[in-house]
Amino acid sequence: MKFISAMVATLCVAFSAHAASLPSAVKQALKQAGIPQSAVGIVVQQTGGHKALISLNARQAMNPASTMKLLTTYAGLDLLGPAYTWKTEAWLDGELKDGVLHGDLVLKGYGDPKFTIEQFWLWLAELRARGLHEIRGNLVLDRGFFDLPPHDPAAFDNDPVRAYNVGPDALLLNFNTLRLRYLPDGNKLKVITEPPLDGIWLDNRLTTEPEGGCSGWDDGILVQPGGDSVVLEGGYPGGCGEREHNLSVMPHTRYVEAVFRALWKELGGTLQGELREGAAGDSAKLFSTHHSDPLSGIIRDINKFSNNVMARQLFLALGAAEQASIERSVQAVQDWLHRQRLDFPELVLENGAGLSRTERISAQHLAQLLQRAATHPLNAELRASLPILGVDGSAKKRLRESPSAGHAHLKTGTLEGVKTIAGYVRSRNRKEWVVVFFINHPNAKLGQDAQDALIQWVQQRR
C-alpha cells in the first residue's frame, strides 16, 4: 500500500513539474478559454533531441483532427515515393472506324486525388486528337478499384453538400464539387457555376439582402440538390460583394457524366448512349492513359489546404495492390510503422484524413513521427507541404503580424471539440523544435490563443 501511495505521489509530482513547465502565457490563455490542462496534450522537443522541453499528457490518446494527415502524407512519401502517380484509363469496348466508336467508352479510375476539370478537358481533347469523335454506345464508368462501403456525406455533421464531406472514389473528378460564384447587381443576384454540367439545371431563388454580416455570408443560403436540378434558396448579403464556395451537389457518377457530356460536346464530340457503371469487356482495347501530378505535389495540397478527400485517396493508395480498401491501408500503415520500429499502440485509423470522431494518436507519438521525418531523405518534400505560419495555407491568418510569422511550418486541425497544431518551429537561436499541441475539449475552438502563445514562446527562445 505504501509502495502504491509512493508511486501515486511520484506521478503527481511529475505531472505537476510538466504542467509547471508550461509558459505562463499558455497557462493563462487556457484558463481564459476554460480549458483544463488535463484536456490538452503537448510536446515541445528540439529536432534530434532525446528529451522533451515540455511534455504534458503526452502519452494520452487524443483526437488529432487534420494533423493526422501528417502520418498519411509521410507514409505516402516513404512507401510510394515523391514521383508516384495515379492513372486513369480510357478503353474502347467496340470498333472505332472513321472517328465513330460502335460501342462503349469505358473510363477506369485508380483513385487519382487531383483529377481537375482542366486536366479532364485536356485528356478529352487528346481522345479527340487520337481519332475518337462520335460514341454510339454508352459512357461506362469503372470504379471497381476501390472496395469501399457506401459513403454517407451527411454522416459526419449532417451537412452533405460541404466539400470536406466528399467521399473517396476510384474515379474522383474535380473533387466532385461545383463552384458557385455569387455576383450581386443591385437587387439582382447572378450565380455562375463551374464546371459546366450538361443536363443539370440551377434554380436560383436567392434574394439579396441590404444588411447582414459577411463572416457567415453563406449561412442563409439553402442548397437543395435533387435529380437534375439544384435549388438555391434564402438570402445573400449584397454588401459582401462577390463571393464563392465549393459544394458537392450530386453523386460521383452523375457528376462525371454531366461534366463529360458538357466538355465532350464543347470539343465537338457526340455521345448517343447513356451512363452505365461496369467494366470493359474482354475484347476492349486500352485507348489512352492519363497520369496524375506526382505525389510530391499532391501532398502539398493535402497539407497546405487540409484537403480531406485527397487525403482519403492517398490513404487508400497506401494499401492498394489489385484493389484498395480501408482495411488494407490500415494494415499497410501498421506494417510500415513496425518496420520503422515505431510502436503506437493507441493509434486508431479510420480514413487517414482526420475528419473522424474515432481516429486517435498521442502527442508524443506524433512528435516522434515528426522527429523521424526530420532526418528522412525526403524531409524537404514533407516540410514544403506544410502551411507556413502567417504566410499561406491553413496557417495564413495566424500570427501574421508577429515576429513568429514565416518561422514555422505547422499543420492545423479543427473539429467540433478539437483544435490541434503540429509541425516545426525555428527559434531565434536558429534551433528547430518539434511542436505538438492537441486540445480535446468542448471549448477547444477558444484554444487558439494558447497554441499561438506556445508557438511564439518557442520561436522567441534564445
Name the grid cell of 239. Answer: 454588401
Q: Do domains 14-83+296-459 and 87-150+252-293 have the same CATH topology?
A: no
pLDDT value, residue 8: 38
pLDDT value, residue 372: 98
Q: pTM of the prediction? A: 0.94
CATH fold group of domain 87-150+252-293: D-tyrosyl-trna(Tyr) Deacylase; Chain: A; (3.50.80)
Q: Which of 283, 271, 277, 290 is nearest to 92 (CA)?
A: 283
CA dist., res. 192 & res. 381, Å (int): 37
Domain segments of the chain as ranges: 14-83+296-459, 87-150+252-293, 178-247
pLDDT value, residue 348: 98
3-state secondary structure 290-357: EECCCHHHHHHHHHHCCCHHHHHHHHHHHCCCCCECHHHHHHHHHHHHHHCCCCCCCCECCCCCCCCC
Domain 14-83+296-459 has CATH 3.40.710.10: yes
pLDDT value, residue 17: 37
Which segments in the chain show pLDDT lower than 50?
1-20
pLDDT value, residue 39: 98
Number of Cβ within 10 Å of residue 14's Cβ equals 11
pLDDT value, residue 204: 93
pLDDT value, residue 16: 37
CA atoms within 13 A on the CB side of 192: 8
Helices 295-304 & 308-318 angle (0-180, nearest 10) = 140
